[in-house]
């Protein structure tokens, strides 16, 4: 899923220069909390006003940004015209296949969610082809809705709870999928002509969190039926050699621990996965495990509190290892963990302070996900727009070619 390879060993020509500054200016426009004027962009970016002007012209011509109506602004001097991401600009489509629901959303260049739809559907009862078809229907509607808003769909990313390599889902245990290929564009209706990608759900959720929170480096851990994770380093998603980084769910907690379905034993999932917590809390198996846990914990029931403390301890052990290894300052808890954080945090922080060797100088922070259960969905959509923000020149080139 790597959308932009910034090649250190490439020669640099004049054009690359412009490409870089194009991205620089666009970033300033989308990141600012108030529509900046050309002069403000120049001051903030370090470029001259002359350069910013020509670059903004190019971005306007490409439909990526637009001028605001000259609104009177306070202060003396000629008022600047605000530059905003174009209302008719590209939109990123995020799609999510999860155990018991499908979801689609669309974000614009600012990252705002412009469309969102969720459909309950148990994938375990269906074959992948049926899932793809249902997803294509949702996506079709999203394309329609987005187009009605004046946006142009620019690509889509599908979030899947499993290991993805290239365009193939190697394995998605909780869906019961193995070696499933991405659907052919022809089978995807309105997505036919759009670049499409699949990626791991937790990885994309980390990407979503990165943008929602502005955090530069953190470890994202999502606890649902399985436990997933994603790593963001210095603002960039870290994928590892194959894009499989972040699999914290199968880090060993106790080498002699209980067998895990992955073939190993003592994995974190056996201590802090939904099923493990439920069983330890003495709750019945069923659909509303999370609600039962939250309810039980709020009511102060001993078995539930103990189960969450145990899970938190195991999480803390695994996270300590990760922090020791990566020297990362923040841990973000997502998925169900976000709602359980009040009861998990004490144990997690206790283990972190004990087991992280640098904890006394720089303790890691533990916080709940800002996007909650939408993180992966929004992250998938943002992966598309992020690729455009990171390399607008490429986007403009592909836009210009079909038009000509």
Contact residues: a second copy, CB under 8 A = 9-14, 16-17, 20-21, 24, 27, 45-47, 51, 163, 165, 170, 217, 229, 231, 233, 238-248, 250-256, 262-264, 267, 313, 317-318, 320-322, 324-329, 354-358, 361-362
Kindly state the tokens that stand for 344.
């998990």
CB of 153 to a second copy, least distance (A): 27
1 binds, among a second copy, DNA, none (CB under 5 to 8 A by kind): none
Q: Is 134 exposed, middle or buried (0-12, 13-18, 19+ CB in 10 A)?
A: middle
CB of 155 to DNA, least distance (A): 25
88 binds, among DNA, a second copy, none (CB under 5 to 8 A by kind): none
17 binds DNA (CB under 7 A): yes
255 binds DNA (CB under 7 A): no
User: CA–CA separation, 161 vs 200, rounded Å?
Assistant: 6
Contact in structure between 67 and 90 (CB atoms under 8 Å): no
Q: Which of 212, 146, 200, 150 is nearest to 175 (CA)?
A: 200
Rg of the chain taking only CA atoms, in angstroms: 23
Among 14-22, 163-171, 178-186, 257-265, which window interacts with DNA (CB under 7 A)?
A: 14-22
49 binds, among DNA, a second copy, none (CB under 5 to 8 A by kind): DNA
User: CA–CA separation, 252 vs 221, rounded Å?
Assistant: 15
40 binds, among DNA, a second copy, none (CB under 5 to 8 A by kind): DNA
Task: Strands of 239-384 (E only): list them.
Answer: 330-335, 365-368
CB of 49 to DNA, least distance (A): 4
CB of 254 to a second copy, least distance (A): 6
CA 253 to chain centre: 27
HSE, CB side, 13 Å, CA atoms: give it for residue 315. 35
Residue 267 falls in which region: left (phi positive, over 0), alpha (psi -120 to 50) or beta: beta
**Binding mask of the shown chain, residues 52 to 91, with x at each position contacting DNA by CB under 7 A:** -xxxxx------------x-x--xxxxxxx----------
Residues that bind DNA (CB under 7 A): 11-15, 17-18, 21, 37-40, 46-51, 53-57, 70, 72, 75-81
């Amino acid at each position: 899923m790597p959308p932009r390879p910034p090649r250190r060993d490439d020669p640099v020509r004049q054009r690359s220069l412009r490409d870089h500054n194009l991205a620089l200016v666009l970033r300033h426009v989308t990141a600012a909390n108030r529509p900046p004027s050309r002069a403000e962009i120049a001051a903030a970016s370090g470029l001259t006003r002359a350069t910013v002007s020509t670059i903004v012209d190019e971005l306007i011509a490409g439909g990526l940004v637009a001028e605001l109506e000259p609104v009177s602004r306070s202060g003396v001097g000629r008022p600047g015209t605000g530059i905003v991401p174009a209302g008719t600009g590209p939109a990123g489509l995020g799609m999510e296949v999860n155990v018991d629901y499908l979801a689609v959303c669309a974000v614009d260049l600012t990252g705002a969610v412009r469309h969102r739809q969720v459909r309950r559907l148990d994938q375990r009862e269906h074959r992948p082809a049926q899932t793809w078809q249902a997803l294509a229907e949702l996506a079709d509607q999203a394309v329609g809705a987005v187009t009605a808003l004046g946006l142009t769909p620019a690509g889509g990313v599908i979030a899947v709870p499993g290991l993805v390599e290239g365009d193939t889902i190697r394995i998605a245990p909780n869906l019961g999928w193995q070696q499933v290929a991405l659907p052919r564009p022809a089978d995807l209706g309105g997505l036919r002509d759009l670049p499409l990608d699949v990626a791991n759900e937790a990885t994309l959720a980390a990407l979503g969190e990165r943008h929602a929170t502005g955090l530069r480096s953190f470890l994202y851990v999502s606890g649902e039926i399985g436990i997933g994770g994603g790593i963001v380093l210095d603002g960039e998603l870290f994928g590892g050699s194959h894009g499989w980084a972040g699999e914290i769910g199968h880090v060993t907690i106790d080498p002699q621990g209980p067998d895990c379905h992955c073939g190993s034993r003592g994995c974190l999932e056996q201590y802090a996965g939904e099923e493990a917590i439920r069983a330890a809390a003495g709750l019945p198996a069923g659909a509303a495990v999370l609600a039962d846990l939250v309810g039980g914990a709020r009511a102060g029931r001993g078995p539930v509190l103990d189960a969450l403390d145990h899970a938190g301890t195991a999480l803390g052990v695994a996270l300590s290892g990760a922090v020791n290894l990566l020297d990362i300052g923040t841990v973000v808890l997502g998925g169900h963990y976000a709602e359980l954080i009040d009861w998990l945090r004490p144990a997690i922080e206790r283990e972190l302070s004990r087991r992280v060797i640098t904890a006394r100088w720089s303790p890691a922070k533990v916080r709940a996900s800002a996007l909650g259960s939408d993180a992966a969905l929004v992250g998938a959509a943002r992966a598309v727009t992020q690729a455009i923000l990171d390399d607008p020149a490429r986007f403009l080139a592909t836009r210009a070619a079909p038009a000509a």
